[in-house]
Amino acid sequence: MQFHIVTLFPAMFTALDTGLLARARRQGLIGVYPHDLRQYGLGNYHQVDDTPYGGGSGMVMRPEPIGAALDAVITMSPGLTRILLTPQGELLDQATVRELAAQSPGLLMIAGRYEGFDERVRELVDREISIGDYVLSGGELAAMVVIEAVARLIPGVLGNPASLAEESFAADTLEYPQYTRPEEFRGMRVPEILLSGDHGKIKRWRESEARKRTARRRPDLAVGRRFPT
């Protein structure tokens, strides 16, 4: 799966040169391709932003460089799903992540800087996505969040596919409490049931703990909801 990003800061994506994603790239399971928006800027200064019509503070990203960058990438890789990263977009959740993971050959994301995009940029994309209700100075970190969340759903990227299956089964609840050694840490003991060896009892305990934790911490996660697998 291909992840293309149109950005003024392509170097930020070297952050993905480590760990799980680096291995996935070496194996050819994913490709991460930042494209420098500055190359498509206007005039001698390669301008990508301008003052807003009607006045006001801040700068607005001009539509032509973004349009030219999208055209160039789409010509090289037809069929990419075009995504504008913006706090005004639909909130990213695991159901959306699954939809994005099903896009072939991949995603073309626009990571903006400055105060916003010229409204006409919205006409150039297939969807708009936000990663949460807070403001970032640019879409780059949001793009990396999308890449990480989507890539781990691609077959072969995760070391242990069983954890994926468990996640999708338990997608409507938070995870149950987990413990490893030692049996006692600073006076806190591992729940006796986990040491019992009774796998039926352990399974029921975990389901019950996950339900209780979800009800207390995230009552908005509706009981019974399941993400498509």
Residues contributing to the site for ligand 6GU (CB under 6 A): 85-87, 130-132, 134-136, 138-139, 142
The three-state secondary structure class of 205 is helix
208: left (phi over 0), alpha (psi -120 to 50) or beta: alpha
Q: Least distance (Å) from ligand 6GU to the CB of residue 43?
A: 26
* CB closer to ligand 6GU out of 7 and 214: 7
Strand partners, 138: none
* CB closer to ligand 6GU out of 74 and 136: 136
* CB closer to ligand 6GU out of 146 and 176: 146
* CB closer to ligand 6GU out of 137 and 208: 137
140-151 and 94-101 helices, crossing angle to 10°:
80
Q: Under a CB-based contact definition with an 8 Å cutoff, are residues 29 and 156 in contact?
A: yes
Q: Least distance (Å) from ligand 6GU to the CB of residue 86?
A: 5
Q: Least distance (Å) from ligand 6GU to the CB of residue 222?
A: 23
List, in order, residues 6 or more apart from 109 with CB less than 8 Å away.
Answer: 3, 4, 5, 6, 83, 84, 85, 139, 143, 146
Q: Least distance (Å) from ligand 6GU to the CB of residue 84?
A: 8
